[in-house]
């Protein structure tokens, strides 16, 4: 294993313009956070007043309906630009102004005061702030109340029965209990501190704190998505976020929203789930990127390198054997669920196409109908093969996304196939040193892996979204679709107990045939040529996007990891051919050429139809 000094790479440097963006003092970091809070408060105020619509009396576009749905739940007037909405907007604007003033004013004693502000002390303040928010929300639910299923403001009461049924009272009790726990956590950190051993580097670098904060936010978004899917209880709007759907069907919402929501059950909830999926992925990938960039700077900064010399993850950036084993394990976790889900989907599709066959190899072919025993045992559900396929497709996408994320961390300094190991020369793989100059090996940089992670994250969002809503995002406005005509009848027949997944379960037709039949059924209600051009343009973008980044060595690095893993289990004959990795200039040239060529071709096809 190499040391930080021995493996110092002068090529791996920070962007010149980025150096000026790094806060130099704790005061600058604190002011940056305060200004960000002001931006958030100002954004909420702007949305509540202007609500991203040209019509002053309507609330149409996300995230505006989400804020107005929260006003509805609190029992306020949730109509567009109502007195209650303007009051909340003015309070947020006042908070934004105060934050901005504090974030820009410099006092003579500021530096002296902030010298005594440690990360542990700021954490104490954050713990107590969260404790206050959680406690106040729990007390508000228990004694003031929120809007229930009948449309009235009803106090939920307070219950601390952790093992009883989940009700509004237990939800309020959980908030109060978590508030007390967070308060005790703040007291603990006030006396115990938070600046020792492995957490010491939080005191030394703002980007390390940013990395952890972004990933904590990503975990929060993932928790919300999970809760919205699992707690699918229209009869309990407080628990299952169905107050948003109740708002969409109420007289407070714009007529367009009521029309869509009446034909598209769970319309607003689906918008929120999609938004949390996208933002969660962005915070997750961004947090890992900043963590990897912090480790890159640590290897090039003698002071940081000395402070982190005992940090295990930094050592593993040089441990080639650990990297190969870990990445091979993640790739196994990526390919296995994908093969399983596609195998079942393909089998059921073939069985569907030949369901009338009386002779031949496909005669009397049965469907694979595996449930979800683990999920059923934990949540008491009754999953079908559709849930099984969706879960494995999502798991495969998550693991594929984790590959570039771990490459960001591991390859922030070196790669398993450096010239020292000699494997690049043996594999005849050329990795020219033309990559971005702020991190990575000669061809695998942080930004390469960042964009690859975003690209692969689509593999997570796509199956997750299809599982939630069988007709893709277009179903937001597909009020004339045959799929939603059927769904609307079920919804109107029993609006208090309508499953969010009722129109999304994979039928006995098989997975692929289900996609084809349902999406074409929806597309025929639109201009078919325009929809085809839209899909074609997205395919062109995805293809050229992958050409710009994946052919700069990432694919070959992954192939070499798989090659090494096969050799360890006696299957070294697999994968004898390796393509030369494109340089940054070559990748840009080919990607740009393909993009413009296919764009012209797409426009020509659109003009001809």
Q: pLDDT for 39-68, tens place per residue?
A: 999 999 998 888 776 677 778 776 788 889
Return d(Cα 39, Cα 22) in angstroms, integer.
19
Position 1 scores a pLDDT of 36
Position 243 scores a pLDDT of 86
Q: ∠ CA(329), CA(374), CA(331), 5° rounding?
A: 15
Q: Provide CB contacts within 8 A for 146, sequence distance 6+.
A: 73, 74, 75, 140, 153, 154, 156, 168, 238, 243
Tokens matching residue 209: 């704190």
What pairs with residue 154 in β-bridges?
146
Question: What residue spans define the domains of the chain?
Answer: 16-118+195-316, 320-468+527-608
The model's pLDDT over 432-444, given as tens digits with 9 standing for 90+, comes to 333 333 333 444 5
Average pLDDT of the chain is 71
Other beta carbons less than 10 A from residue 249's beta carbon: 17
CA distances from 40 to 47, 209, 282 (A): 11, 19, 17
Residue 413 near residue 12, CB atoms below 8 Å: yes
This prediction's pTM: 0.72
Residue 304 near residue 204, CB atoms below 8 Å: yes
The model's pLDDT over 288-344, given as tens digits with 9 standing for 90+, comes to 988 888 877 776 677 777 777 777 777 777 677 777 788 888 888 888 988 888 888
Per-10-residue mean pLDDT for the chain, 609 residues long? Answer: 37 41 64 85 90 73 83 90 93 95 78 66 79 94 86 88 83 93 85 61 72 88 82 73 86 81 73 83 89 76 74 72 82 87 78 69 74 74 74 85 82 45 36 35 61 78 68 42 60 57 42 51 53 63 58 60 74 57 62 70 60
Position 310 scores a pLDDT of 75
Position 520 scores a pLDDT of 56
Name which of 545, 304, 328, 566 is nearest 413 in CA terms: 304
Position 102 scores a pLDDT of 87
Return d(Cα 14, Cα 486) in angstroms, integer.
57
Q: What are phi and psi of 352, to 5 degrees?
A: -70, -40
């Amino acid at each position: 294993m190499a040391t930080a000094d021995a493996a110092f790479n002068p090529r791996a440097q920070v962007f010149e313009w980025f150096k000026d963006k790094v806060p130099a003092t704790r005061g600058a970091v604190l002011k940056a956070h305060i200004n960000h809070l002001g931006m958030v408060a100002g954004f909420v105020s702007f949305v509540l007043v202007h609500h991203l619509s040209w019509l002053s009396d309507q609330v149409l576009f996300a995230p505006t309906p989400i804020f107005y749905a929260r006003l509805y739940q609190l029992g306020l007037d949730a109509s567009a630009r109502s007195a209650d909405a303007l009051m909340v907007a003015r309070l947020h604007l006042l908070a934004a102004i105060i934050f901005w003033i504090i974030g820009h004013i410099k006092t003579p004693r500021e530096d002296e005061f902030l010298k005594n502000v440690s990360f542990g002390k700021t954490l104490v303040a954050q713990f107590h702030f969260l404790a206050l928010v959680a406690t106040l929300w729990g007390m508000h639910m228990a004694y003031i109340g929120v809007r229930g299923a009948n449309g009235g403001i009803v106090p939920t009461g307070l219950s601390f029965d952790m093992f009883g049924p989940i009700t509004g009272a237990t939800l309020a009790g959980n908030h109060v209990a978590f508030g007390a726990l967070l308060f005790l956590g703040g007291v603990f950190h006030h006396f115990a501190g938070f600046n020792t051993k492995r957490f010491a580097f939080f005191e030394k670098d703002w980007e390390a704190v940013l990395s952890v904060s972004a990933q904590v936010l990503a975990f929060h978004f993932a928790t919300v998505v999970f809760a919205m899917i699992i707690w699918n209880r229209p009869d309990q709007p407080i628990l299952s976020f169905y107050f948003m759907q109740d708002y969409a069907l109420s007289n407070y919402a714009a007529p367009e929203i009521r029309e869509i929501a009446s034909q598209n059950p769970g319309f607003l909830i689906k918008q929120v789930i999609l938004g949390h999926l996208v933002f969660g992925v962005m915070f997750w990938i961004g947090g890992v990127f900043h963590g990897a960039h912090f480790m890159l700077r640590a290897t090039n900064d003698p002071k940081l390198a000395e402070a982190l010399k005992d940090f295990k993850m930094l050592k593993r950036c040089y441990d080639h054997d650990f990297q190969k084993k870990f990445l091979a394990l993640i790739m196994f976790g990526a390919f296995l669920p994908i093969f399983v889900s596609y195998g079942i989907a393909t089998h059921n599709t073939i069985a569907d196409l030949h369901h009338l066959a009386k002779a031949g190899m496909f005669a009397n072919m049965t469907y694979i109908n595996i449930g979800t025993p683990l999920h059923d045992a934990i949540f008491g559900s009754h999953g079908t093969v559709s849930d099984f396929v969706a879960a494995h497709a999502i798991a495969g996408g998550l693991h594929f996304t984790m590959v570039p994320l771990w490459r960001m961390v591991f390859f922030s300094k070196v790669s398993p196939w450096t010239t020292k190991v000699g494997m690049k020369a043996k594999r005849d793989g050329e990795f020219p040193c033309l990559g971005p100059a702020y991190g990575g090996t000669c061809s695998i940089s942080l930004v390469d892996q960042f964009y690859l992670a975003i690209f692969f994250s689509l593999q997570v969002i796509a199956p997750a979204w299809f599982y939630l809503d069988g007709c893709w995002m277009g179903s937001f406005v597909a009020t004339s679709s045959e799929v939603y005509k059927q769904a609307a009848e079920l919804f109107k027949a029993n609006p208090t107990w309508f499953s969010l997944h009722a129109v999304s379960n994979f039928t006995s037709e098989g997975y692929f045939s289900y996609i084809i039949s349902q999406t074409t059924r929806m597309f025929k209600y639109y201009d078919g040529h325009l929809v085809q051009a839209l899909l074609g343009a997205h395919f062109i973008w995805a293809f050229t996007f992958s050409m710009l980044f994946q052919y700069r060595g990432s694919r070959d690095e992954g192939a070499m990891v798989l090659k090494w893993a096969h050799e360890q289990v006696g299957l070294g004959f697999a994968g004898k051919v390796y393509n030369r990795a494109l340089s940054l200039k070559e990748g840009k040239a080919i990607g740009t050429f393909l993009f413009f060529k296919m764009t012209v071709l797409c426009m020509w096809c659109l003009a001809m139809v």
